[in-house]
Amino acid sequence: MPGNDEKPEAIDALLATANLARALESEQFRRFLDQIPIAIVVSRMQDREYIAYANPEFEKLSGKTLADIQLKSWDILVWEAEGDSKTKLGEAIVSSVDATSSFRIERPDGQSVIIDLYSNVIVDDDDVPAFRLAALVDVSSHTLAAREELRQRLGEKDALLLEIQHRVKNNLQMIIALIRIEARNAQGRIDTAPFDRLAGRINSMQLLYKLLASPGQGNSVDLGVYLSEIASSVMQLHATEGIRLNLKVDTYPVSVNIAMPTGLVVNELLTNALKHAFVGRDGGAITLHSVVDEGACRIIIADDGVGLPEGVQWPEQGRLGALIVRSLRENAKADLMVESRPGQGMRVTITFTRTTSAPESVTA
């Protein structure tokens, strides 16, 4: 797990927001956590810290129910780290151990899974620790054969494990950050709309992690494949009859740090178009092009809908979309241009060069 000094400043700022503590008190927010496809366990940090919540994904992953661990301390999670370390999972959660080893969960049915851990203390409005949240990610799909292939590419086992861990932890940090910012925006009046958006963003990162976990995958992501999968997922969830997608993508390997914010921006724009661009119309067209020439990649997300309302800009300053766009600009030195005309639709063009978006070279 990357140390605090390695976290991007924007993520550090999001992780410091206090409003998640209030959100965790909401039954509706917990129902949302029930749907997250990552195992989540939450404890209350009072005079005696005890586990108060675990989502269905935790039960599926571990074979333990909430009743098995509720009102107990983290010591109940006795699964040990892989390798020479004998650190227990519960100990690592409480101490926020910065280890490169994974943990092996032995299920009651005799099966075992390998998981990576991310944990974080949630403070209340008075900056007092209120909850501890742990997320467990199944990385069993990293088979020995896949690890050996990466070992040869990186040079030694420690570098291999660090590479795998780095990918998983960065995604989890962003997931936690997204939950925090949405909880802050809700300002105590939790409704379903912010969490619909959050679910789409998490899905975009899941698709990225799926690509990264593919056997033989290096330290790059095919942006064309990634954006195609995002478009397919968004259309399946939100498209209505009469709306068609014009999709054209080129093969283009980019670094993970480029793929993640690009995917989030594309997910945001496609979802917004499907929900708002064709209000009062029978249908319309959405365009997603990711085309490459010798020196640059140009991504176009456009629609022929109603356009932005007068006085409204995208991304709106102070909202998560603006943070994601800033991340894309910083990571890829990307140029982003937004055009909108009433009754004629909206068009966003993202351009970055091959040099700034190329996958990083990894050395042992």
Residue 358 buriedness (CB in 10 A; 0-12 / 13-18 / 19+): middle
- pLDDT in the model for residue 142: 57
b/e burial code for range 37-74 (CB count within 10 A of at least 16 → b): ebbbbbbbbeeeebbbbbbbbbbebbbbebeebeeeeb
- pLDDT in the model for residue 358: 67
- pLDDT in the model for residue 37: 77
Predicted TM-score of the model (pTM): 0.52
- pLDDT in the model for residue 223: 92
* Ordered structural domains, the chain, with CATH: 4-203 (3.30.450.20), 219-357 (3.30.565.10)
- pLDDT in the model for residue 224: 92
Taking Cα atoms as reference points, which of 232, 234, 223 lies closest to residue 199?
234
Instruction: List per-residue pLDDT tens for the chain, 364 residues long.
Output: 333 333 334 323 333 434 556 656 667 667 777 877 788 899 998 788 999 999 999 999 999 999 999 999 999 999 988 776 778 999 988 885 444 457 889 988 888 888 888 777 877 766 688 888 888 888 776 555 554 554 455 444 444 444 544 555 555 556 655 655 555 555 555 554 555 666 677 777 777 777 776 655 566 789 999 999 999 988 887 777 889 999 999 999 888 888 888 998 999 999 889 988 998 888 899 999 999 988 889 999 999 999 998 888 888 876 777 878 887 888 778 899 999 998 889 999 999 887 777 676 544 3
